[in-house]
């Protein structure tokens, strides 16, 4: 079966075929971070999803061109700047760097390009002028420019919202200027006192871009007027992506995006994790609790992207254990195949990829992996697994590890004092002095290490 994705636009699963006539190049745009604070792991779950989309495309022979915007001017950024006094670019560069560090810790590939909104102001202005010429944008008295959704008849096709049916009394925007129609959205926001020195000159006076326009503009500049895949969190469906479609398609008359992919939220105690709710963990919080990027990556990536992921420390422990068993198995395979080269794939990879072809069905993929893990563990116990087969499986595993983006755990060399204790214990065991041996094991444990006895001698692991 071919690669299929669930397209939010049609709310159904569709076979993926890129626009490229050769069927190789894939224009992939992902909605990136707003850099005014550390990302929380809900944000990062989405990044892990993006990374899986990309890696799976790559392993299936496509050549994705991956672009992710950096939103470095926006209301909350400006508020933070005004409160802290730190210059805009210092603040945003600091958190942009932190964001990329997080990607590294989680083994997410960096996008090929990560354009910043503030470095595309002239293009954004040109884009808005184009919309004005098309007659779908209008300037208000205060010098802002709005998009008129009445001029775009398919407005609402992505979110399937009927703007006339909005709940009365639902959140009404605070930044009401003189919009003609409720639902019109800002392309350009006029400068106000609150913005301080953050503004750009434009044909409409001083101001800054609206939130949605940067994605349309940079997507088009870096990938073209119609792109293949646009990814984001599901909360962006409305209004962000709806507005992107409106302004982009109004400007070009062409379809903006062919496949819209949205990931579900990460929940804490059944509620959406968000900065405003205050119920969030950053990656740094979890690393401090002793989890590795590899474990966190597995935990974030092992639940299907369109399902809410209820995040718990228990879940992280489960991820740690599951990974550990895979690693033990892989080590045994490696020892078993020693010097043998794999002649071909062991079939493990093929099954894994087929599962992922089905809208990235990670659960089925992992299920098939664990099933083979168990079968072949038993075979190794009974000495029934050939070196050739072990080599094939090992090779498949290494590819799956890549596909899952599992970063290596930090090197764990036991410190000299711990090694010395282990050596002392080895001697005690040889002398069959079990009492001293056990005392030494406890002592090693209190230093944060676990000693295991294997036929080849002792093995130290982080407790």
Please list the residues that pair with 15 across neighbouring strands.
Answer: 4
Q: Which is nearer to RNA, 24 or 321 (CB)?
A: 321
43 lies in the binding site for RNA (CB under 7 A): yes
How far apart are CB 24 and RNA at their closest, in Å?
Answer: 27
Residue among 194 and 254 whose Cβ is closer to RNA: 194
Query: Is residue 234 part of the contact set for RNA (CB under 7 A)?
Result: yes
Q: Do residues 338 and 387 lie in contact, with contact meaning Cβ atoms separated by under 8 Å?
A: yes
Task: State yes or no: residue 374 binds RNA (CB under 7 A).
Answer: yes
User: Which of residues 3, 5, 26, 34 is near RNA by CB under 7 A?
Assistant: 34
Q: Which is nearer to RNA, 141 or 383 (CB)?
A: 383
Residue 84 or 182: the one with the smaller Cβ distance to RNA is 182
Phi/psi region, residue 367 (left: phi>0; alpha: psi -120 to 50; beta: rest), is alpha
Distances (CA, A) of 321 to 50, 287, 299: 25, 17, 11
Interface of this chain with RNA, residues 309 to 368, rule: CB under 7 A: 309-310, 312, 314-315, 317-318, 321-322, 324-325, 328-329, 358, 361, 363-364, 366-367
Q: Residue 297, interface with RNA (CB under 7 A)?
A: no
Angle, helices 293-301/88-105, rounded to nearest 10 degrees: 80
CB of 353 to RNA, least distance (A): 15
CB atoms within 10 A of CB 269: 9
Which listed range, 96-104, 252-260, 390-398, 444-452, lies at the site for RNA (CB under 7 A)?
444-452
Using CB under 7 A as the binding rule, the residues of this chain from 180 to 209 that contact RNA are 182-185
Minimum Å gap between C-beta 361 and RNA is 5
Instruction: Kindly tell me which of 370 and 417 has the beta carbon lying closer to RNA.
Output: 370
Beta carbon of residue 375, minimum distance to RNA (angstroms, whole number): 7
Minimum distance from residue 63 beta carbon to RNA (Å): 24
Residue 141 or residue 165: which is nearer to RNA going by CB?
Answer: 165
CB of 278 to RNA, least distance (A): 12
Number of residues that bind RNA (CB under 7 A): 94
Indicate whether 143 belongs to the interface with RNA (CB under 7 A).
no
* In the complex, least distance from residue 128 CB atom to RNA, rounded to whole angstroms: 17
Pick from 1, 2, 167, 411 the residue near RNA by CB under 7 A: 167
Residues in 236-265 at the binding interface with RNA, rule: CB under 7 A: 236-240, 263-265
Minimum CB separation from RNA for residue 461, in Å? 8
Stretch that binds RNA, among 20-28, 56-64, 197-205, 375-383 (CB under 7 A): 375-383
Question: Nearer to RNA by C-beta: 61 or 270?
Answer: 270
Pick between residue 121 and residue 163 the one whose CB is nearest to RNA.
163
Q: Which is nearer to RNA, 228 or 359 (CB)?
A: 359
Shortest Å distance, C-beta 25 to RNA:
25
Does the protein bind RNA through residue 308 (CB under 7 A)?
yes
The two tokens of residue 347 are 């079939």
Classify the C-alpha dihedral 273-275-277-283 as positive or negative: positive
Q: 277 or 343, CB closer to RNA?
A: 277
Decide: is 445 part of the binding site for RNA (CB under 7 A). Answer: no
Q: Is 31 in the site for RNA (CB under 7 A)?
A: yes
Q: How far is the CB of 288 from RNA (least distance, A)?
A: 20
Q: Is 371 in the site for RNA (CB under 7 A)?
A: yes
Minimum CB distance to RNA, residue 404 (Å):
14
Residue choice 1, 2, 22, 170 for contact with RNA (CB under 7 A) = 170
According to the 3-state scheme, what is the secondary structure of the chain?
A: CCCEEEECCCCEEEECCCCCCCCCEEEEEECCCECCCCCEHHHHHHHHHHHHHHHHHHHCCCEEEEEECEECCCHHHHHHHHHHCCCHHHHHHHHHHHHHHHHHHCCCCCCCECCEHHHHHHHHHHHHHHHHHCCCEEECCCCCEEECHHHCCCCCCCCCCCHHHCCCCCCCCCCCCCCCCECEEEEEEECCHHHCCCCECCCCCCEEECCCHHHHHHHHHHHCCCEEEEEEEHHHHHHHHHHHHHHHHHHHCCCCEEEEEEECCEEECCEECCCCCCCCCEHHHHHHCCCCHHHHHHHHHCCCCCCCEECCHHHHHHHHHHHHHHHHHHHHHHHHHCCCCCCCCCCHHHHHHHHHHECCCHHHHHHHHHHHHHHHHHHHHCCCCCHHHHHHHHHHHHHHHHHCCCCCCCCCCCCHHHHHHHHHHHHHHHCCCHHHHHHHHHHHHHCCEEEEEECCEEEEEEC
Interaction of residue 270 with RNA, rule CB under 7 A: yes
Segment 72 to 91, residues that bind RNA, using CB under 7 A: 74-76
CB distance 211 to 239 below 8 Å: no
* Two tokens, residue 96: 């942009």
């Amino acid at each position: 079966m071919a690669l299929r994705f669930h397209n939010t636009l049609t709310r159904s699963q569709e076979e993926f075929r890129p626009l490229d006539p050769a069927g190789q190049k894939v224009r992939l745009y992902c909605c990136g971070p707003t850099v005014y604070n550390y990302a929380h792991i809900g944000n990062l779950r989405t990044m892990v999803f993006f990374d899986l989309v990309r890696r799976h495309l790559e392993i299936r022979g496509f050549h994705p061109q991956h672009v992710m915007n950096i939103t470095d001017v926006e209301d909350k950024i400006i508020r933070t700047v005004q409160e802290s006094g730190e210059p805009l670019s210092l603040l945003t560069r600091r958190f942009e760097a932190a964001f990329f560090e997080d990607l590294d810790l989680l083994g997410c590939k960096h996008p090929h390009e990560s354009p910043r909104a503030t470095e595309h102001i002239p293009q954004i202005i040109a884009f808005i002028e184009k919309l004005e010429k098309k007659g779908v944008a209008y300037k208000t008295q205060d010098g802002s420019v709005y998009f008129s959704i009445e001029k775009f008849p398919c407005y609402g096709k992505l979110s399937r919202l009927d703007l006339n049916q909005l709940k009365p009394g639902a959140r009404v925007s605070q930044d009401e200027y003189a919009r003609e129609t409720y639902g019109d959205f800002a392309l350009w926001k006029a400068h106000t006192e609150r913005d301080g020195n953050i503004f750009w000159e434009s044909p409409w006076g001083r101001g800054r871009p609206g939130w949605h326009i940067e994605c349309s503009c940079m997507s088009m500049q870096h990938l073209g007027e119609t792109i293949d895949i646009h990814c984001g969190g599901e909360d962006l469906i409305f209004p962000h992506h709806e507005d992107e479609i409106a302004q982009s398609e109004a400007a070009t008359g062409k379809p903006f995006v062919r496949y819209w992919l949205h990931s579900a939220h990460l929940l804490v105690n059944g509620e959406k994790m968000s900065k405003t709710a205050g119920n969030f963990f950053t990656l740094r919080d979890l690393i401090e609790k002793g989890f590795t990027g590899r474990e966190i990556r597995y935990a974030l990536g092992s639940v299907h992207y369109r399902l809410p992921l209820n995040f718990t420390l228990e879940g992280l422990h489960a991820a740690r254990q599951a990974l550990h068993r895979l690693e033990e198995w892989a080590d045994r395979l490696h020892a078993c195949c020693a010097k043998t080269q794999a002649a071909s794939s062991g079939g493990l990879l093929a099954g894994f990829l087929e599962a992922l072809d089905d809208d990235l069905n990670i659960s089925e993929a992992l299920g098939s992996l664990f099933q083979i893990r168990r079968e072949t563990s038993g075979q190794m116990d009974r000495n029934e697994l050939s070196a050739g087969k072990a080599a094939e499986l090992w090779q498949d595993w290494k590819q799956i590890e890549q596909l899952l983006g599992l970063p290596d755990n930090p090197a764990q060399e036991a410190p000299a004092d711990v090694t010395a204790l282990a050596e002392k214990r080895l001697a005690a065991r040889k002398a069959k002095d079990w009492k001293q041996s056990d005392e030494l094991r406890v002592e090693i444990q209190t230093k944060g290490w676990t000693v295991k006895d294997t036929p080849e001698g002792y093995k130290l692991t982080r407790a």
